[in-house]
Structure formats: structure tokens, C-alpha cells
Structure 1
């Protein structure tokens, strides 16, 4: 992928060298109260999330509680702290990855501003936090083991670049355009948030069965794959950034992180009712559909019968 020399995004926060450490030595998942609040926040509807946020703010104000303390303790009861490594110096490869992420984020902003304007829609860029090991979020602690993710609550993408090493080593999905596909997929979730689709799906949690909700999640994820393909389509037109083999890299990545492939790799068997992202074939198909079409309107995964996705 040709990426050097283009405009970089100003919406990228560098938290490399700053991490969250817990006194208990285990993974930081928030204190008892923080864990409960985080679980409720993740599972609640948009209205529930708003009530939780307002309630926490009010309680912290009334009882003079530092809101960070609700989430910054380990399961063992020890306190945790944000540690800044002042002497942190990225390697040349780490710094190049950071420059690549800023450039790719800038590409997405340029492309989606143009696409949404053409559709008469309002666009605002997501933020991106690049971190190492662990970092704080409005809902708790992000851990590198979680992989890249988009948090709708604050419209931010969180990523520890070490994920790409795991992607290559564990799933044999390598290449800079495989990485571009991952980021474009997360930006796709931001586009869904702007379109109102994310809140609509998340608002169904608790109202429908687990299997039905998982199927909605699959539709949402496959649409994000489609939107990643739309980005690739317009990015090629705008920047001519594709090189030989780049689309194949994205396809290998999509195949590697399909639910069926991951379940087979982790558990030795496949359970379709537990799918949340779609199969390898579905993920590849929807990315290619977006890449070939380039039109948002062609990616309505919610109108397709589930067994035809």
C-alpha cells in the first residue's frame, strides 16, 4: 500500500508509553462498582447509558468521589495507577507504524467526508487513541488483548499496534493493507454510529433473545466490513494507494478473523448461534461488495434474509 507523504489526521491521541497498572497484579477490569457500571453500560440501551452517566456524575458530585477511582482498582482490591514512562522511546518500526496509523486515519476522514456530503449527510471524524498494553476509557480499562475496537459512547477507536503482530503470527494475516482493512472496519462502525444504526441495534439488547441479538450483531459487523470496502474503493480513486496483492491481504485478514475460523481455532468446533461478526466467507464477501460498489446504499445488511448474508 502506498501511504507515505499524505495528510495525517489531527484526531489521533498518542498514549504510547503510558499504561494502567493494578496493585493486584491481574488484569485491570475496574473495581466492584466500576465493573458493575461497565457491564450495565455495555448492555444497556441508549437511554440506559444516558441515565448511568448522569447518575454517576451526580453521585460523584454529591459524595465528592473521584470518578476515576470507580474504575481504577483491581479485582484483588489493590489500587491501580496510570504510569507514564517518561523515558519511553519508540523503535523506528513502532514510530513508522504510528505515522502509518495517522495517515490511514487521515485517508478515512478525507474519503468519508466526501462520501457523506454527496449523500447529504453530516460527517464528523472519530477520534483514535493509540496505546500500549492498557489505557483508560469512559467505560473502564482497554486491554491490548481486546484488539482494536470502536467505543460509540465517545466516538473513539482504541488500538494497541501490537495487535497487528498477533494478527500476523497467530492468524497468518500480514501486510499493510490487512492493517488498513482492520482500521477501516472500525471507522465503518463510526459511520454506523453517525447513521443511527449502532444505537438502534444496541437498544435491542435485553429486549430480544441472545441468539437474535447475536444475529443483529453479525449484520452490524458485516456492514462495517462492507463500509471498509467502500473506503477502499474511493481511496483507490482518490489516492491510487493500492499495490499488487493489497486486496488479497484484506481478504486473508477477513478470512482469518471470521467467527467460524476463530471458534475452530480456539475450541475445535463451530457454534453458529454464538457468531457475532460473521463467517470468514461472509466477511470477505461483504468487503468485496463494498469495494466493487463504492455506494453506501448497497450495503444494507439488515434487509437481507439472515441465511443469505
Structure 2
């Protein structure tokens, strides 16, 4: 990607030097999962998707257990280091894209805030550590990421490249769009009356739609002069295929359990990203009415 010199976003909250310390009962990932279940959840949460605490507890601002405290306020605006500059450029481009698209429907686009943290962070959806991976919290309309995750993306998950990193952020911003459009609140409402298997199946459709929205962003990014380079889209497709539930579960425990999938298979994630990229159309991302995923 030729990202240097492009507009950066001011919607950045840099908490990396905040020095959070944990008190109370610690971070609660989920109850009754057992060791294998916890390992699988953590493996899946290495990459894009709604924070596992959000999926388990909802988007109503409930706490994940314990609390993180700091007396040092976060800085606002674009940081100076290259990696933060990079995500700021990508965030700015998603702002331009979704403002343009929603504007065509006569709607405004309330921009999300990107929170950079290191180690641990509190959110309106609960407390999290770097092990949670990047996540979106609908209760405060913020995307959270520890930038050290990108080393895991390239190394442990074998998905290198700056466009793979951009895809991570674009997926999370896709969740923000879902929140604005009412998808996430409806999902949370519906899952309260569902079995675990049914809730997982619905979660897959939520996640694949966010992948499709990331593809729409890539569609418009590719139209810009001197922004997308040869091989960039392939980086995103590779990243999507590396973080399917089937692949991550096999890495974590040696086998996959389809009824527990809540993000989609590798093939599904790559397919829906490509769907958004090739069409650039919101209507093409209706995973909830798709007969097959």
C-alpha cells in the first residue's frame, strides 16, 4: 500500500502509555467453558471480530470483571510513530468511504474512535488484555487494538502485509457500521432466546457481513490513485483464510467442531470479503438472507 502522505484521522485515542493496573476479579472471558473452550476462544479472538466479552455479555456496557485503573489521561489525535500513523490513515480512509456511501442514502456517518492500547484496556463492554485481539465495542462505539497484534498476524497466523493489517481494521469498522444500522443490537436481542448452537450460527452471519463490509472498503480504496498495490487484495484474502474458525480450531486443539463456529470458515471469510470487494454494494452483503454462506 502507498499510504504515506495521505490524510490521517483525528479519531485516535492513544492509551499505550496509560499504565493500567488491574484490580478486583480480573478479566472474565466466559463462564463454564473449560480449558479447551478457553483456548479455542482465545485462538479465535487473535484476529478480527467482536470482542469475546461482547459476544458473551452483550453490547449493553456490562463489565467483564475486575477493573483497570490509571491516573494518566489518553492523548487524542494522530500519534507520531509509523505504525500508529498507518492505522490512522486506514481509519481516515474508512471514514471517507462510509461517509460517501451512507451519504448516497441521505444518512450521516458518525465516526468511530480507534483506541490504541498496550497490555490491557477498559472499555464499555468490559476489560480486555492484548490476548483478546482487536475488537469493537458497540456500547462506546470504539475500536480497540494493541498494535503488537500485527506481529502475531504476520508470524503466528502467517498473514503478513500492510493490507492484511488494513483488513483487520476495516473488519472492525464493519462492526461499527453494523451497530449504526441496528444489526448488532438486533443480534444481541435475538441471541438471548437462542440455544448456543443457534447463537453461534447467527454470529457467523454477523462476522461474515463485517468481512463483506471490509471488502466494500477495499473496493473503494482500489479506485484511488496510487493507494493499492499489486498483491494487496491477495494479502487480505490470505488473512481472511488464515483466521477461519476451522483453521484456528485445528491450530488450537488439532480438530474443528463446526457447531461451535462463530466467525465462519476460512473459505466463507475469504468469499464474503471478495463479495464486498467485487460489488462495492451494501445490498450484496446481506448474509442474513443468503441461502448458503
Matches for 1:26-175 after TM superposition, within 5 Å: 28-29=26-27, 43=56, 49=60, 71-72=66-67, 81-82=69-70, 95-175=81-161
Alignment partner for residue 193 of structure 1, among 159, 172, 179?
179
Q: Which runs of 4 or more aligned residues in structure 1 lie more than 4 Å from their structure 2 counterparts after TM superposition? A: 39-46, 83-86
**CA positional deviation for 1:119:** 2.3
The verdict on how the C-alpha distance between 1:192 and 1:131 changes in structure 2, with shifts beyond 3 A counting, is same
1:122 and 1:6 mapped to 2: Cα distance?
A: 23
Q: How far apart, in 2, do the equivalents of 1:41 and 1:147 lie?
A: 13
Q: 1:249 to 1:297 in 2, by over 3 A?
A: same
The structure richer in helix per residue is 1
Contact (CA 8 Å) 2:23, 2:66: kept in 1 or not? no
Q: Mind listing any 5+ residue stretches in structure 2 that lack a counterpart? A: 29-51
The answer (yes or no) to whether the contact 1:184–1:228 under 8 Å persists in 2 is yes
Specify whether residues 45 and 141 from structure 1 end up closer, same or farther in structure 2 by C-alpha distance, changes over 3 A only: closer
Q: How far apart are residue 41 of structure 1 and its match? A: 7.5
Equivalent residue number for residue 19 of structure 2: 19
Change (3 A) 1:85 1:109: closer
Say whether the 8 Å CA contact 1:3–1:100 is kept in structure 2. yes
User: Quick one: structure 1 residues 120 and 246, their matched pair in 2 at CA, closer, same or farther if it must change by over 3 Å?
Assistant: same
Q: 1:109 to 1:40 in 2, by over 3 A?
A: closer
Which of the numbers 287, 294, 299 marks the counterpart of 2:273?
287
C-alpha separation between the residues in 2 aligned to 1:261 and 1:254? 11
1:206 to 169, 192, 195: 192
Query: Radius of gyration: which is bigger?
Result: 1
Deviation at 1:81, TM superposition (A): 3.7
Separation (CA, whole Å) in 2 of partners of 1:14 and 1:132: 9
Q: Which runs of 5+ in 1 are unaligned?
A: 31-38, 54-69, 73-79, 87-91
Shift of 1:142: 1.8
Query: What is the CA–CA distance in structure 1 between the aligned matches of 2:231 and 2:211, rounded to whole Å?
Result: 18
Separation in structure 2 between the aligned mates of residue 85 and residue 152 of structure 1, nearest angstrom? 22
**Do the aligned residues in 1 keep the contact of 2:179 with 2:185 (CA within 8 Å)?**
yes
TM-score normalised to the size of structure 2? 0.84
Specify whether residues 235 and 115 from structure 1 end up closer, same or farther in structure 2 by C-alpha distance, changes over 3 A only: same
Decide which moves more: 118-127 or 6-15. Answer: 118-127
How many residues get paired? 265
TM-score normalised to the size of structure 1?
0.79
Measured in 2, the distance between the counterparts of 1:246 and 1:161 equals: 20
The worse-fitting range, judged by mean Cα deviation, of 121-130 and 265-274 is 121-130
